[in-house]
Amino acid sequence: MTDDTIRLSPHAAFWVLFFSIALMALLLFSEILLPFVAGFILAYLFHPFVDRMSLFGIGRGAAAFAVIAAIGLTIAAVAALIVPPLVDELVQLVQDLPGNIHRARAYLNEHYGHYLRGLQQSLGAPERPGGPEAVQQQLTQQVAPWLMAQLQSLLQGGLALFNSLALIVLTPVVTFFLLRDWNKMIVAAEALLPRKDAPAIADLAREINKTIAGYLRGTLIVLLIVSAFYMISLGLIGLHYGLLIGLGAGLVSFVPYLGSTSGFLVSGGVALAQFWPDYSKIALVCAIFVFGQLMEGNVLTPNIVGNQVRLHPVWMLFALVASGYLLGFTGLLISVPLAAAIGVIVRRAIWHYYHSPMYGQAGSAGSNPAANREPAV
């Protein structure tokens, strides 16, 4: 009688234990990781600038401080330019919301009232007539308690407030020390690797680094360009809440088609309410997002991000939802790098599987076209 029990080798058991402990630690400390994750991402993005500055004889500490100061000044300048009009549009949106709801309700009642009344009667829901004041009162009655509950939870719990303060105070400090000691940490991490696995891990790490760096830096540039295009274009047309819509559509454009599609739908609805029956301006608003998607997909992304990053949109969406569900906002920050790293590992594992005896006889992988190309993950 043969023993078919699957046993892990010592090396495999070590790595299973290592990643299990890392995952448990990530889940355990997820509530306080935000400033450290944000600092690590900033250090990862900007450590090449510190490396270049150190080549000119500038100390890494001074170079790290200069990079952080430049980042802070850039963020402050951009915020000073766009935050005031964004706040104005947000306030205007809150003020216009009751009137917009009333007009939408009046339109639906005028054209589809008999269907809606029949649906209300079948569901037993009471009719709620009234103008904008009544709608505003209904919104106040429904939204105000929820806002008060959220504010009370924030003040009582204190953890979210601590995270907000820590994000502002600790992130620059964490970024500074990581930028200053980046090369030392890499050398120390390489020294800790098991000598037998070190070459394979180093090769895999280089591929992961190439993928993540290309994706993050390239995508960041593309998002800035697309956001600026949408915001400026919608602002020039005079679309209500154009800055808010353009910024939101641009920021979610890292998922292919999501930014342009959501922006198209939202701006199209606002344009219908604002410009009707001026078909030319409505069509112009829709054309902006069609052109933006064509520009992003055919010009910006291929030339800035490149084709070395092969992340399927469905995999990106799953990574965002799963990471956000498990780790909150911290998970959203690490979802893209984590998805890219897992994609590289899965592609490498599939390639080895195709060329292993488990797949078939030795050499049979060459007859399979799928084995000669890396799968898209």
Domain spans in the chain, listed from the N-terminal domain onward: 31-124+159-192
Number of Cα atoms under 13 Å in the Cβ half of residue 134: 8
3-state secondary structure at position 193: coil
pLDDT at 158: 47
Which range has highest mean pLDDT (12-16, 94-98, 189-193)? 189-193
Give pLDDT, residue 65: 92
105-159 pLDDT per residue, tens: 676 666 666 665 655 556 554 555 555 555 455 555 555 555 555 555 544 444 5
Residue 196: exposed, middle, or buried by beta-carbon count in 10 A (0-12, 13-18, 19+)?
A: exposed
Does 112 or 181 have the greater pLDDT score?
A: 181
Q: For residue 125, give the DSSP letter.
A: P
Q: What six digits make up the tokens of 134?
A: 């009544």
pLDDT of residue 119: 56
Question: 136 or 219: which carries more pLDDT confidence?
Answer: 219
The H or E element that residue 181 is part of is none
pLDDT at 202 over 70: yes
Backbone angles phi, psi at 172, to 5 degrees: -60, -35
SS3 at position 73: helix
**Whether the Cβ atoms of residue 241 and residue 89 lie closer than 8 Å to each other:** yes
Tokens of 41: 């991402």
Q: Which of the pair, 1 or 350, is modelled with greater confidence?
A: 350
Q: Who's near 326: CB < 8 A, 6+ residues apart?
A: 27, 30
Does the pLDDT at position 331 exceed 50? Answer: yes
Least confident of 114-123, 251-260, 350-359: 114-123
